[in-house]
Amino acid sequence: MKEFILLLLFCHVASPVRHSLKYFYTASSGVPNFPEFVVVGLVDDVQIVHYDSNTQRAEAKQDWMEKVTADDPQYLEKETQRFLGDQLVFKARIETLKKLFSQTGGVHTYQNMYGCEWDDETGDTDGINQFGYDGEDFIAFDLKTMTWIAPIPQAVFTKHKWEREAGTNERWKNYLTQECIDWLKKYLDYGRSTLLRTELPSVSLLQKTPSSPVTCHASGFYPNKIMLFWTRDGEELYEDVEHGEILHNHDGTFQKSIDLHVSSVKPEDWGRYSCVFQLSGVMEDIVTKLDPDVIKTNWGKTEIKRYGGRHSLKYFDTASSGVPNFPEFVVVGLVDDVQIVHYDSNTQRAEGKQDWMEKVTADDPQYLERNTQIAVGNQQVFKDSIDIAKARFNQTGGVHIVQRMYGCEWDDETGDTNGFYQFGYDGEDFIVFDLRTKTWIAPTPQAVITKHKWDNDRALVAQKQNYLSNICIDWLKKYVDYGRSTLLRTELPSVSLLQKTPSSPVTCHASGFYPNKIMLFWTRDGEEVHEDVDHGEILHNHDGTFQKSVDLHISSVKAEDWGRYSCVFQLSGVEEDIVTKLDPDVIKTNWAPTNSPN
């Protein structure tokens, strides 16, 4: 329950020759386990400096920033003092704004994004300075007219006040049009080898089964201004293709994939298809022919059924007040962490989220209507609960959230079961039901009244016990049976070895596995290697499977020793590992100069 998602406002993507220097300030109150004040500085969307109220110290975030501090030893100290001063100002402003909006407690955020842009071809420049409060635009500076724009009534007073401060506005104009541009050019010069570099990817073709789509996967490119598409006879295809998102690699580069459905393509026509990768600023495309001989696959090892393990049915109910552009009440139901049902107060309709849920509604035509009515009833109860909690915490306006998570677990091998039922308020645990003792646990003083009330309601306690121990388990078994082909499936990945340049690490990339309970590691002579390896995170693919990569730094490995190394993929419930030898002949690469002149 102790989770808080902070959304940065004012996102912007620069054009190919347009560079930017931006600072994001975020002041907050009432946010548990999060600094009250954070500053992030970015050049071309790459973080260069960070400060927060916990450390109270500005820290450089790029290696090349050492050149900045070498030329100006007081750089970080000056930034620290600047941010410390801003921290005090922002802390005072958030209190002022709470009064302006007639608010007391709750979660509140005040954000500022300012900076500049410069086109290194035309010389054009622009400046930006805008503020947001609780997720909404509050006030913005118009550099052309030297006036402030107030999109909401509460900002009008600030607009008039700041427009009277002619000297302050002149300083902003000077900063945005001159100082900021000068610093941007300096940073670009200091970080030229990183910020202005171009890196081409390794491009692989992957396929899980003969009937599966062929995935064109490009990994290791920089920057992220790319095009990846399939062609037939040189013309781009728009049908029978599915685009994945651009994802971050752990080394600062990016990856992207695009699927081509080949079920209707005749074998003799495969040669007419190609995957094309284009990187902004690079004239030559990377073209990969649709050739069965270059497709990496693990045919015959997918869709293996697994019949043992621990299953879960969980429901997450979230009620909120003061959250802009978000439903006041949301319900999400999950089986084995796969979403099966969704409801929110905007649609006021429960919806099945898996194809196999059609079997549930076929056997029980009133299933979705019944869940809708339950959710509608809970919606009103939770709305009242927020008001009660606000009163108990002496709060008025602001952002407030009440959450409930409840459900059960069942081990289909041992038969063991467990149940859980808990509430949270504004990101903190509020009250929890202990199924073993049949009592409620109140971790905060404000929940003690609720604990005593619910402990004395023996009918409520009996109802929770029966649901968690019986009804929930019965439904979990039903769902697992209905969704067996999806929930109990095992899919093995395609495993590829990738390398950008002869001196780069070799990346072992596994894509297309399910579930995500896996191990991916390098071995030498059969023993796992822990040094000279970098692990990437497990990422979602757009088809519901997962991918992961692990790098092996080979600069110190002798050529004759390569055969001693292997990449090993292990999937929970599958006895056979996928072992890929470190063999130069199977490494996919696009060796080429990675630094293009700029």
Quickly state the pLDDT bin for 351 (edges 50, 70, 90): very high
Fold of 202-303+488-589: Immunoglobulin-like (2.60.40)
Q: What is the pLDDT of residues 299-324, one digit of tens each?
A: 544 444 444 568 999 999 999 988 87
User: Of 574, 549, 535, 573, which Cα lies nearest the Cα of 495?
Assistant: 549
Q: What is the pLDDT of residues 523-582, one digit of tens each?
A: 999 999 999 999 988 888 877 788 999 999 998 889 899 999 999 999 987 888 999 999
Quickly state the pLDDT bin for 591 (edges 50, 70, 90): low
Q: What is the pLDDT of residues 389-412, one digit of tens each?
A: 888 888 887 888 999 999 999 988
CA distance 195 to 574: 43
Residue 209's pLDDT is 77
Partners of residue 424 on adjacent β-strands? 403, 429
Q: What are the angstrom distances between the C-alpha of 73 and each of 60, 65, 70?
A: 12, 11, 6
Tokens (6 digits) for 514: 């399910």
Residue 298's pLDDT is 62
Residue 333's pLDDT is 95
Q: How far apart are the first and last CA of the chain?
A: 48
Collapsing DSSP to helix, strand or coil, 35 comes out as coil
CATH 3.30.500.10 domain range(s) in the chain: 18-195, 310-486
Residue 306's pLDDT is 44
Q: What are the angstrom distances between the C-alpha of 567 and each of 151, 155, 304, 345, 528?
A: 56, 58, 22, 48, 9
Q: What are the angstrom distances between the C-alpha of 353 and each of 78, 154, 358, 360, 561?
A: 53, 41, 9, 12, 50
Fold of 18-195: 3.30.500
For 456-574, where are the alpha helices, taking DSSP H only?
458-466, 472-482, 484-487
Q: What are the angstrom distances between the C-alpha of 413 and each of 307, 416, 417?
A: 8, 8, 11
Largest CA distance in the chain: 75
Q: Is the predicted pLDDT of residue 10 greater than 50, yes or no?
A: no
Q: Is the predicted pLDDT of residue 251 greater than 80, yes or no?
A: no
Percent of the chain with pLDDT strictly greater than 90? 62
Residue 382's pLDDT is 93
Q: Is the predicted pLDDT of residue 67 greater than 70, yes or no?
A: yes
- Residue 301 phi, psi dihedral angles, 5° rounding: -120, 15
- Beta strand 533-535 with 489-490 is unpaired
Q: Strand order of the sheet with strand 351-352?
A: 351-352, 338-344, 329-335, 310-321, 400-411, 417-425, 428-434, 439-441
CATH, domain range 310-486: 3.30.500.10
- pTM, whole model, 2 decimals? 0.58
CATH 2.60.40.10 domain range(s) in the chain: 202-303+488-589
